[in-house]
Every structure is written in C-alpha cells, then in structure tokens.
Amino acid sequence: MSRTFHQLTSTRVNSRRLRYLKMAITLHSKSLPFPNSLFLRPLSSSRKIYVATATIHCFVSPSPAMDPQPSKKHVAVCGGGVIGVCTAYFLAKKGAAVTLIEKSSIACAASGKAGGFLALDWCDGGPLSSLARASFYLHRSLSEELNGPENYGYRPLTTLSLTVTESSSSKSSGNSNSILPSWVDGPAKSPRTIGSTETTAQVHPQLFTKTLLSKAVNDYNVEVVIGKVESVGVDEGGRAESVVLEGGRVIASEAVVLSLGPWSGKFEMLSSIFNVSGLKAHSIVLEPKEADAITPHALFLSYHPAQGGKPMDPEVYPRPTVGLLLSLHLGHGEVYLCGMSSEQEVPDDPETISGDPESIKVLKRVARTVSSHLGEAEARVKAEQACFLPCTEDSVPIIGEIPGIKGCYVGTGHSCWGILNGPATGAALAELVMDGHSSIVDLTRFSPARFVGHRKRVLT
C-alpha cells in the first residue's frame, strides 16, 4: 500500500544524548490581549493571558468521561502544539488545574501546518496500532462534541494512491468507471482505493488545535501563558515542583508535561536521555477558483518528475470551507499539498521557519500536473510554508514519566502522525498524571525508560 510520506518520515532517526539539569533560572513571560491570543504572536508587557475564541456548538457524544478529582492538582503543560493542547484538555476535563505554556503562539509549528490526515488502520501491525485506533475514534467523538465539521473541517474521506509521470502527455486514465475524481485530470495512472470514509478522515489541524484549546479554556479554565520554558524545577526528593520561564518567572506545579515537539531535542532534561530530531517538510495551500469541482479525495502520489528526476511521494488533501465562510455560504474550499522533506537543524523560533523556494516550486509543479484546477491561472496560492516533524531514534513516540524525575512527563516524537495520535496521547497522559496509569492505551512501549540503558553520559 502506498503510504509514502507517512511511512518514510516515520522511519527517520538520528542520535545524540546529553545530560539533564535539575534547576533553572531566568524568567520571562509575555502575554496577549483577549480574545486573540491563540492566533497572534505575543505582545509584550502584561504578565500572562488567556484565550477564548471559537464558539462550541453542540455536545452529542462526549469523549471519555473523566471523573473530577476531589482537590485540584496543578499541572503545567509545556508546548502549545496538538500534543500539548490535547493533554491540557484531557487533564482539565479530568479535574486538574492546568497552565499551558507556549513560547510563540498556539499551533504555530507542525500542528498548524500539517495535512490533518487521519487513518484508522494504517499503523496496524506496528507499535502505534492501538494508539492510532484509539485516537481515530477519539477524533470522531471530539468532532461530535466540538462540532468538528463546522469548526475545523472534520470529515471522512476517500483516499487513493496513484502514479503520476510528469513527462507523460497522456491524461488521466479516468473514464466513467474510474475511481479517479474528474478534477484529477493530469497524467495519472493505476489509481487504487487505499482508504474509505470508514477508515480515513481529515481535520484542519490548526483549527482543530485552537478549537480544542478554546473549549479547554472556556469550559475547564485552562490558563494559557506565553513564555519560553527554560527548565523544570525539581525538589530534593527528585520530584518536579515548577517550571522556570525565560526571564526567571517560576510557575509552581505538582506535575509537569513536556510536549515540545522537535524542540524536545533542544531541552536538556530530555536530550540527556533521548534524541528527538527535526525533519523539515514543505507544504502549499491553494484556493481553486472552481472549489466546488474538488471532491473529498485524499491523494497519495507516486510522482515521477520529467527527465528522470528522483521519484517523490507528495500528498494532496482537499479541505472544506469551515467556520464563518461556511455559515456565510462562501464556498472557498482549499487544497493542501505536502512533501519535499530533509533533515535540518530546527531553528529556535518557530515563526522563522519558512519554505525553501525550490521545494515550494516543485510542489506547485506537482499541483498543476495533477489537476488543471490547481495551475497558477486557476488557483490562488494561499500559503507556502514548512515545518518540522519530531522524530525519535526508533520511530516510536515517547510518552510517559521521565525516569528519575517524579511527576515530570513527556509526550513527543509523533513524526508524521501527531495530528492523528494527539487525542489518545493527551487522554493517556492525563490518566497517567492523575491516576498513575493509562487505561485508554498501554503506554509501556512508549515509555522514555526504554532509552535509559543507552545513555552515553550523565552530568551531575
């Protein structure tokens, strides 16, 4: 089965280890005026701030019931990507008093720029199988709870694999019996259905993350602080007791969750135990003039460039119109394309990550080759961007309590499946923090303890 980019990217590894620190210093925290804090870069001055944005409409089939705890446990969740936000949501729903700390803006990195493709069974047979299955169904129930179709474009999809040869003059092998939708009118061959509306779906990842956080803020009082986490404070008994922000501000907490995506590799407490590296991948978002012609079909391409260039595996995801535009009946559906990945150093500031012009050019060429609706004259370019997949040495996410530091947990390394696996990761971490074990997914395989024997050096 052609699971190209999603398969390849999950196998990239790297290695490096360091030490971990016990305490920290400096403080800083920035803040944003209500209600735009989810969407903008931080302004300076006031101390901390909170958010609320998307209206949440209906509550049909709530995600798993979480019994509130008698007294509120304060938990600091660090990192405002999909993993941090899902964790904050489920923790707060379970009765924790949660502070979410993000250094830039919510979903500013991969969680805002991903494809948002979800698959029930594509991880079957591997270590992610139960996580992915649980998460696929959690997405479905969250969509009912949060009005996903309207708020963040949740919808089931049909998914096809196909071969496209750029130099071929022939048009697609589409005919009245073909499974290819009519908008795929380029030189496409060998189309195959690799996912049905029962097994594949999509969300707009940035809107999903922000909608979930809005719910967490509005209904469960999650507090959002904009500031860079420099370290975790640990007491004499080896238990996490605070997080320390750039500039010196200390936020006391009884438990800490580190969900820093590819920046986990730059955080000493984590990089002393395992490596998380970044794989840079590119994407473009196009707004076709004839948006109504684009049907909900995700495409996994085996793409052969002209003149014998290296074959590529780009992915194409049409997305529906959502939110205000939908309610105003303004049908501006869009098409997201991604691919062109390479290992690169992750820059400190997520807002400075931009696409390499050559990679963007290639994606535009792929778009116009696949469909005449996606050529320059027929589609406006809405975004040209890049972001980093968080990759672990064994291609398995790291979810669990950090060995040797009680009350300090990590959720990272989700590679190309973080949007899919965010909800189950968040729900499992919430259970682990609040109850001491996870029932939704067995986290043994994901434990950071698996790296301990490999540690090269530990500084005291």
Ligand X SMILES: Cc1cc2nc3c(=O)[nH]c(=O)nc-3n(C[C@H](O)[C@H](O)[C@H](O)COP(=O)(O)OP(=O)(O)OC[C@H]3O[C@@H](n4cnc5c(N)ncnc54)[C@H](O)[C@@H]3O)c2cc1C
**Rounded to an integer, what distance in angstroms lies between the CA atom of residue 134 and that of residue 189?**
34
Segment near ligand X (CB under 6 A), from 14-22, 302-310, 326-334, 408-416?
A: 408-416
Selected range binding ligand X among 232-240, 287-295, 365-373, 416-424, rule: CB under 6 A: 416-424
H helix intervals, 21-164: 82-93, 110-113, 129-146, 148-152
Q: Indicate the SS3 state at residue 270.
A: helix
Nearer to ligand X, 172 or 246 (CB): 246
Nearer to ligand X, 38 or 379 (CB): 38
Q: Pick between residue 291 and residue 387 the one whose CB is nearest to ligand X.
A: 387
Q: Which is nearer to ligand X, 119 or 172 (CB)?
A: 119
435 three-state secondary structure: helix
Tell me which of 97, 100, 114, 301 binds ligand X, using CB under 6 A.
114
Euclidean distance between the first and final Cα of the chain, in Å?
Answer: 48
Shortest distance in whole angstroms from residue 34 CB to ligand X: 20
CA distance 286 to 306: 23
Interface with ligand X, residue 350, by CB under 6 A: yes
Q: C-alpha angle 150/354/305, rounded to 5°? A: 90
SS3 165: strand
451 touching ligand X, by CB under 6 A: no
Residue 235 has, within 13 A of its CA and on its CB side, a CA count of 12
215 with 151: CB under 8 angstroms? no
What is the nearest approach in angstroms of ligand X to the Cβ of residue 328? 28
Q: Answer yes or no: are the C-beta atoms of 340 and 317 closer than 8 Å.
A: no
Residue 3 binds ligand X, judged by CB under 6 A: no
Range 213-232, binding ligand X (CB under 6 A): 228-229
**Within 10 A of 287 (CB to CB), how many other CB atoms are there?**
15
Residue 26 or residue 302: which is nearer to ligand X going by CB?
Answer: 26
Which range, of 57-65, 306-314, 319-327, 409-417, touches ligand X by CB under 6 A?
409-417
Among 10, 76, 80, 392, binds ligand X (CB under 6 A): 80
If one asks whether residue 96 binds ligand X (CB under 6 A), the answer comes out as no
By CB under 6 A, tell whether 261 contacts ligand X: yes
How far apart are CB 155 and ligand X at their closest, in Å? 14
Alpha carbon separation from 347 to 17, 223, 341, 379 (Å, rounded): 19, 27, 16, 31
Instruction: Please identify, using beta-carbon distances, which residue of 93 and 103 lies nearer to ligand X.
Output: 103
Distance of alpha carbon 155 from alpha carbon 197, whole angstroms: 8
- Point out which span in 62-70, 113-121, 401-409, 447-455 binds ligand X (CB under 6 A): 113-121
Burial bucket for residue 23 (CB in 10 Å: 0-12, 13-18, 19+)? exposed
Q: Which of 66, 91, 260, 424 binds ligand X (CB under 6 A)?
A: 260
* C-beta of 54 vs 419, nearer to ligand X: 419
How many Å apart are CA 227 and CA 100, to the nearest integer?
Answer: 10
Helix axes 418-435, 129-146, angle to 10 degrees: 90
Q: Could you tell me which stretch among 107-115, 160-168, 170-178, 373-381 binds ligand X (CB under 6 A)?
A: 107-115
- Of the pair 257, 338, the CB lying nearest ligand X is at 338
Taken as a whole, the chain contains a residue count of 460
Please report whether residue 210 would count as binding ligand X according to CB under 6 A: no
The residues with which 301 forms a beta bridge, in sequence order, are 162
Give the one residue of 42, 262, 320, 407 binding ligand X; rule: CB under 6 A.
262
Footprint of ligand X on this chain (CB under 6 A)?
A: 78-84, 101-104, 108-111, 114-117, 228-229, 259-263, 281, 283, 338, 350, 387, 389-390, 412, 414-420
